[in-house]
Chain A
Amino acid sequence: MTSKGTAARYQAGPPAFDVEAVRADFPILSRQVHGKPLVYLDNAATSQKPAQVIEAVDHYYRHYNANIHRGVHTLSAEATAAYEAARHKVRDFLNAGSDKEIIFVRGATEAINLVAQTFGRSTLKGGDEIIISTMEHHSNIVPWQLLCEQTGAVLRVIPINDKGELIMEAYEKLLSERTRIVSIVHISNALGTVVPVKAVIEKAHQRGAVVLVDGAQAVPHASCDVQALDCDFYVFSSHKLFGPTGVGALYGKQRLLEQMPPYQGGGDMIKMVTFARTEYNDLPYKFEAGTPNIAGAIGLGAALDYVNRIGLAAIAGYEQDLLAYGTAALQEVPGLRLIGTAPDKASILSFVLDGIHPHDIGTILDHEGVAIRTGHHCAMPVMDFFRVPATARASLAFYNTHAEIDTLVRAVFNARKIFAK
């Protein structure tokens, strides 16, 4: 009786992605906004959190809240074990060679500042060059501008084409013996473009430059293997990966991290302190001064467990399907122009609408319960390139549905109606 049905089910290949089961894990998705079900399409700004993450943080505070790496008491030992287990999960997630290569930070922004102010400041001198791209987030522009002011180094920018892709030939021309650092986004937050970082890294290494990859937008969508990429630094934030805010990770090659001076001074980053001399702690603690975001790191660990259970391959497959559906549906709207049309794209739909400013679109969509981001997305040079002051951006996660895309498109049509008076 059931054997035939079972066989048929398994013959269909891997089970279909069960979006309704996934949605049940995210308590916030059942709330209403302006009397309408929330349609949360602002995932590139921050993602929502599954109950598993919320409970992990709650459990820490209720049952074993204590400082780490110091007390001999039970709670401290438990908190230390959970914090270090989270570090190990990050290592596995990025396929780093050692836990020593994973530094907990406040987020991707702090990680980039850390590399600029330690590796950058201790190795760069006047006339050296740093290469970034046009589609960087401000957090991967300003730390390097600060470093240039401090060292006399020069910032160079790889241009993009009309689809929002990196122009590789221009990059190769920018590379020279003066290039010391290449800091490049993995997936653009404003455009969704997936940057061929492996090729970027290879070419930089041929010139002896060190490469940092900003993975803030990449980690929720695609698996990342820092050893296969051979990047020197990789950074991401927990909150875009379904974990808590205020925590993130910096991966750095051990050889580089060992050479780098500490970032901040304080407790936990030292072995021995006298007024005459201080001996710094070993990796990774050398870069973790002060009590870290313990609950956040534990929450991030829970988020990684969650993502691993669903599987990034399944997530990516489902999101690509949603992206194709959303792209086609939005293109049906008269006067709508997609900004960012690279063939290799993550599930981000940035757009402008003739005669309607993105902020007005944002307010009108909010009335339908649809949350999108409007503005420059902390990527003003991208806006300048496409000659728009701002865009409306719908960024999709694996808990979004095709029906939600329909609601988005209906709301955009409604915006046109309001402005057609």
Chain B
Amino acid sequence: MFDLKDLYQEVIVDHNRSPRNFGKLAGADRMLEGFNPLCGDRLTLYLKLADGRIADISFDGTGCAISIASASLMTDAMKGKTTAEAETIFNQFHELVTATRADPDLEKFGKLAALAGVREYPTRVKCATLCWHTLHTALTSDQTTVTTE
């Protein structure tokens, strides 16, 4: 049986209560809205790109602890990364929370590893991945809205 504490780790509770990089980003050159129509979670991602890198990134919106903490941790992890690096982390993170690999190497995920518990909660995976899909779309297409459905 899974322990609830594996899902609501201290890092998650903390990032939910005081999300990092929260709020509009002045001078953002990319803005994208992510929406989960099933639960109503809605967030907007702001990006400043320079020389193929994510120079700055922020988000705002409403959602559950998992989606807010995920966005907070993601924006922290993405600052300064090249778009290619960001795509690699996106793919690795997706693997981590959808449990496609049985025994993930949590070390390489740093703080993001706090979200690994989501893999035991199939109904909550979309909460954790909403901001990631939004970022992926922001970096790879011209869409203005992303939905989980």
Contacts and interface: CB of A to CB of B under 8 A. Distances in A.
Contact of B10 (A35, A356, A421): A421
A359 B69 CA distance: 14
Contact of A418 (B13, B68, B124): B13
Interface string B56-100: 000000111110100000000000000000000000000000000
A383 B65 contact: no
Contact of A376 (B10, B40, B123, B127): B40
Given A360-B8, A367-B4, A375 B13 contact: no
B59 to A, nearest CB: 16
B102 interface: no
B64 A357 contact: yes
B26 interface: no
A419 interface: yes
Contact of B7 (A363, A376, A383): A363
Contacts of A421: 10, 13-14
Contact of B39 (A34, A355, A375, A419): A375
A71 interface: no
Interface in A376-395: 376, 380, 383, 389-390
A367 to B, nearest CB: 5
A359 B8 contact: no
Interface in B117-143: 121, 123-124, 127
Contacts of A418: 4-5, 8, 13
Contacts of A374: 39
Contact of A363 (B10, B14, B63, B124): B124
Contacts of B16: 419
B17 A389 contact: no
A359 B41 CA distance: 10
Interface in B1-45: 1, 4-5, 7-8, 10, 13-14, 16-17, 38-42
B65 A390 contact: no
Pick the most buried of A363, A364, A367, A419: most chain B CB atoms within 10 A of its CB.
A363
Contacts of B62: 389
Contacts of A367: 4
B115 to A, nearest CB: 14
Nearest to B7: A363
A374 B40 CA distance: 10
Interface string A62-99: 00000000000000000000000000000000000000
B124 A359 contact: yes
Contacts of B41: 359, 389
A246 to B, nearest CB: 22
B10 A360 contact: no
Interface in A1-51: 34-35
B110 to A, nearest CB: 20
B39 A364 contact: no
A356 B38 CA distance: 18
A360 B4 contact: no
Given A35-B1, A390-B39, A357 B8 contact: no
B135 to A, nearest CB: 21
B64 to A, nearest CB: 4
A419 B127 CA distance: 17
A355 B66 contact: no
B2 to A, nearest CB: 8
A368 to B, nearest CB: 9
A354 to B, nearest CB: 12
A137 to B, nearest CB: 16
Nearest to A356: B65
A383 B42 CA distance: 14
Given A389-B42, A419-B8, A421-B10, A360 B66 contact: yes
Given A359-B124, A418-B4, A419-B13, 19 more contacts: A357-B68, A358-B64, A359-B39, A359-B66, A360-B8, A363-B4, A363-B121, A363-B124, A364-B8, A374-B39, A375-B38, A375-B39, A380-B40, A389-B41, A389-B42, A418-B8, A419-B17, A419-B65, A421-B14
21 contacts: A35-B1, A355-B17, A358-B64, A359-B39, A359-B41, A359-B66, A359-B124, A360-B66, A363-B121, A363-B123, A363-B124, A374-B39, A375-B39, A376-B39, A376-B40, A380-B40, A383-B40, A389-B40, A389-B41, A418-B4, A419-B65
Interface of B: 1, 4-5, 7-8, 10, 13-14, 16-17, 38-42, 62-66, 68, 121, 123-124, 127
- Interface pairs A-B: 7 shortest CB-CB: A357-B64, A359-B64, A421-B13, A389-B40, A360-B65, A389-B62, A367-B4
